[in-house]
């Protein structure tokens, strides 16, 4: 196999992994259970699917050198949600004297590994395409 086909297959694998990962659990909440990007964070999930389709299209048509763009935007979405998740650990219920602060315990799930793996595959395909 020549290098272009290998780059395209790596890019297609990253796009496929991104589509699978958007439906995998990323956060476990105490009272709600697990949450995926597409489940409770619908808008982010739609953007991730659009990025996956764009990545797959670029890979299919042999434009692997531009795969760094969807990888960059996916990385921004993932970092934003990780940062927002880190800062949303405390909830307040009630007002004034009856105000109650609740410390919530969120745990990250295995879907993050797949999403960051997809970013890695897309970047790898783009880097290998630029090296030739």
Q: Where are the domains of the chain?
A: 3-131
Judged against a pLDDT cut of 60, whether residue 104 lies above it is answered with no
Answer whether 72's CB lies under 8 Å from 122's CB. no
Q: How much of the chain, in percent, has pLDDT values that exceed 90?
A: 45
Query: What is the pLDDT at residue 53?
Result: 96
> β-pairing, 107-108 with 100-103?
unpaired
Q: pLDDT tier at 114 (50, 70, 90 boundaries)? A: very high
Q: If you average pLDDT over every residue of the chain, what do you get?
A: 82
Distance of CA 2 to the CA centre of its chain: 30
Rounded Cα distance between 16 and 75, Å, is 16
Q: pLDDT tier at 17 (50, 70, 90 boundaries)? A: very high
Rounded Cα distance between 11 and 103, Å, is 41
Mean local confidence (pLDDT), 4-17: 93
List the alpha helices (DSSP H) in 22-100: 42-60, 68-86
């Amino acid at each position: 196999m020549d290098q272009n086909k290998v780059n395209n297959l790596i890019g297609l694998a990253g796009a496929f992994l991104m589509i699978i990962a958007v439906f995998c659990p990323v956060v476990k909440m105490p009272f709600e259970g697990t949450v995926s990007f597409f489940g409770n964070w619908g808008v982010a999930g739609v953007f991730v699917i659009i990025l996956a389709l764009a990545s797959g299209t670029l890979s299919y048509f042999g434009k692997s050198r531009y795969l760094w763009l969807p990888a960059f935007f996916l990385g921004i979405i993932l970092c934003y949600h990780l940062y927002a998740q880190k800062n949303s650990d405390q909830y307040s219920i009630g007002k004034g004297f009856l105000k109650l602060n609740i410390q919530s315990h969120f745990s990250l799930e295995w879907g993050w590994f797949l999403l960051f793996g997809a970013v890695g595959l897309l970047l790898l395909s783009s880097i290998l395409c630029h090296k030739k």
